Amino acid sequence: MASTPSPEVTLPINELDILWITAGLSCDGDSVSVTAAQRPAIEDVVMGGIPGLPKVNLHNPVLAKAVGEEFLAPFRRAWRGENQLPYVLVVEGSIPNEEVKDEGYWAAWGEDPETRQPILTTTWIDKLAPRAVAVVAIGTCAAYGGIHAMAGNPTGCMGLADYLGWDYRSAAGLPIVNVPGCPVQPDNFMETVTYLLYELAGMAPIIPLDAKLRPTWLFGKTAHEGCDRAGYYEQSDFALEYGSPKCLVKLGCWGPVVNCNVPKRGWMDGIGGCPNVGGICMTCTMPGFPDKFMPFMDEPPGSSLSVAGGYAYGRVIRNLRSLTNMSGNQEPKWRHRGPALTTGYQDAA
C-alpha cells in the first residue's frame, strides 16, 4: 500500500487515543503480557502518572471495561475520520491474506451495521492506519507473521509491514514500530510506547529503529550477550540435560544469533528471561521465526564449531554468527500480499 510521505499532523499532541486491535491471528498473549509491565506500568501511563506524556485513553478489548458497540465506538469514529483526538494504532496478531480464497474470511472484528456482515481485520487496518499518528506492531505475529505464518499455512498471513508496506508512514510521518517477542516482553513494549508518546509530545527525537523496524536500544544485542550462562559457554561447560545451570547451546539454544534483550532484562521486574531460568532461546523475536530455526531442541548448526573453536577462533566465530544472524533477520518469502498462496499449503480434501 502506498504510504504518505509528508506528515499531516502537527506536534506536540496533548491527548490521544490508543486504538488496540487484537483481531489478527494470535492468542491475545501480548495484551496479557503487558499487564506485567513495570517500567513503566501500563496503569501509570493511562492514569497520567508519568510527567510530560500526553493524556492517554486506552481502548484494548482484553483490558477494557466497555464491551460490544460501546467498546467499538471510538474505532468506528476513527474509521469515519470523526475522532476528536489523534490516535496511535496498535495491532496484535498476524495479518491474514484474505485474497487467497474464494469465500469466507480468516479474521474479523465487529460487524457492519448495515449488512450485518463481519468486518475483516484487514479492512479495519486499511481504514485506521492512514490517519494514525503512529502504528505499533506488538508481538512477533503482528511484526513478522510468527507461528501462524509458518510454511504450509493456509492463511498466507504476514506481518503488518508486509501488509501495509515497509515504507508505510503514519500521519505524523513515522514508520511502523515493531516490538517482537512471543509474547512481547512487557517492559519492551511499554518503554517503546512511552518513547513514542514523548516523541508525539514533542519531547523526544525520532525513535531509532533498525532495518526490521525494531527499537535499536532494545534489539541491538544478542540474547547470548546478556545471558547469565555465558560464562559457562566461554569455558565450554555445557548442559547435557535440563535442570543444569550450565550453557544450553547443546540442548538447542539459539541465543548467540538472536536479537533479544530478554536474558539481560528478565521477564517480570527483572526476574526470569528464557535461558537464565533454564529454557533454550527459541528465536521468538526474529523475522525468520520459526521456520529458519527449526527443528528446535537440536543443537543449532555451527554451534559445535563455535564451541570447539573457543576464544582462539573468536573472530571467525563472530563472522559466522553474523551470517546466521543476517539470514535469521529475513522473513521467509511466502509472507506477502496478493492472490497467490505460496506457503506450500496442500488442501487435504
97 or 329, CB closer to ligand SF4? Answer: 329
Cell of 54: 500526553
Q: Minimal distance in Å, beta carbon 266 to ligand SF4?
A: 11
175 or 275, CB closer to ligand SF4? Answer: 275
Q: Minimal distance in Å, beta carbon 336 to ligand SF4?
A: 24
Structural contact between residues 222 and 256, judged by C-beta atoms closer than 8 angstroms: yes
168 or 267, CB closer to ligand SF4? Answer: 267
Cell of 204: 523526544
Backbone φ, ψ for residue 241 (5° rounding)? -155, 155
158 or 227, CB closer to ligand SF4? Answer: 227
148 or 169, CB closer to ligand SF4? Answer: 148
176 or 262, CB closer to ligand SF4? Answer: 262
Q: Minimal distance in Å, beta carbon 234 to ligand SF4?
A: 8
Q: Which of 165, 164, 158 is nearest to 334 (CA)?
A: 158
Q: Which residue is nearest to ligand SF4 (CB)?
A: 255
Backbone φ, ψ for residue 25 (5° rounding)? -80, 110
Q: Minimal distance in Å, beta carbon 238 to ligand SF4?
A: 8
Q: Minimal distance in Å, beta carbon 52 to ligand SF4?
A: 30
Q: Minimal distance in Å, beta carbon 256 to ligand SF4?
A: 6
196 or 249, CB closer to ligand SF4? Answer: 249
Q: Minimal distance in Å, beta carbon 275 to ligand SF4?
A: 4
16 or 253, CB closer to ligand SF4? Answer: 253
Q: Give contact residues for ligand SF4 (rule: CB under 6 A).
A: 181, 223-224, 227, 229-230, 233, 247-249, 253, 255-256, 258, 260, 262-263, 274-275, 281-285
Cell of 68: 460490544
Q: Minimal distance in Å, beta carbon 236 to ligand SF4?
A: 11
Q: Which of 71, 74, 73, 49 is nearest to 62 (CA)?
A: 71
